């Protein structure tokens, strides 16, 4: 291809057709510009594709963290229900005058073991912190 174009250029110069040579030069510049624009467009498309993949990855990680947090919440709610039950049992044992000492001791022991403990929730926000610290929070377009 280059050999063919070189022959055309040399032929035009030898025949002293300067205007045709300028037209040929402008056409060649035009082809180069079009090639560069196509390459830039492909590069932009590829970068957008990579950002879309990164967004999907971040969203999947956020969803997984949220699912894990929901399971933790459910377990903590069950623990709180169990704690409330132990507190209620101790309260009823104290209120009932006919409660035996063994029931009071058992209720107090269960209260001390279970009823006095309250769960602490420590959310896992590693993905969000990673997004914030790297400045990639803007990658997520879907609100």
Domain span at residue 84?
A: 2-139
Instruction: List, in order, residues 6 or more apart from 5 with CB less than 8 Å away.
Output: 28
- Cα separations (Å) of 81 from 72, 111, 121, 132? 14, 13, 16, 36
As a whole number of Å, the CA-based R_g of the chain is 38
Give the three-state DSSP class for 59. helix
Longest Cα–Cα distance in the chain: 125
- Total domains in the fold of the chain: 1
**pLDDT-derived band at 16, boundaries 50, 70, 90:** low
| pLDDT tens, position by position, 19-73 | 766 777 788 899 999 999 999 999 999 999 999 999 899 889 989 999 998 998 8
Query: Using one digit for the tens of pLDDT, what is the confidence trace for 71-123?
Result: 988 988 888 888 888 888 878 888 887 877 777 778 888 877 776 677 777 77
Integer angstrom CA distances of residue 93 from 80, 101, 117: 20, 9, 20
Q: What is the pLDDT of residue 137?
A: 75
Q: What is the pLDDT of residue 82?
A: 84
């Amino acid at each position: 291809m280059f050999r063919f174009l070189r022959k055309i250029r040399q032929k035009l110069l030898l025949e002293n057709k300067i205007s045709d040579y300028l037209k040929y030069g402008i056409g060649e510049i035009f082809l180069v510009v079009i090639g560069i624009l196509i390459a830039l467009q492909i590069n932009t498309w590829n970068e957008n594709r990579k950002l879309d993949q990164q967004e999907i990855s971040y969203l999947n990680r956020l969803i997984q963290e949220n699912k894990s947090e929901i399971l933790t919440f459910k377990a903590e709610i069950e623990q709180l229900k169990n704690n409330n039950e132990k507190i209620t049992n101790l309260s009823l044992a104290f209120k009932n005058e006919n409660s035996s000492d063994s029931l009071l001791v058992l209720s107090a022991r269960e209260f001390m073991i279970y009823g006095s403990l309250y769960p602490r929730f420590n959310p896992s926000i590693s993905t969000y912190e990673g997004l914030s610290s790297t400045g990639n929070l803007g990658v997520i377009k879907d609100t």
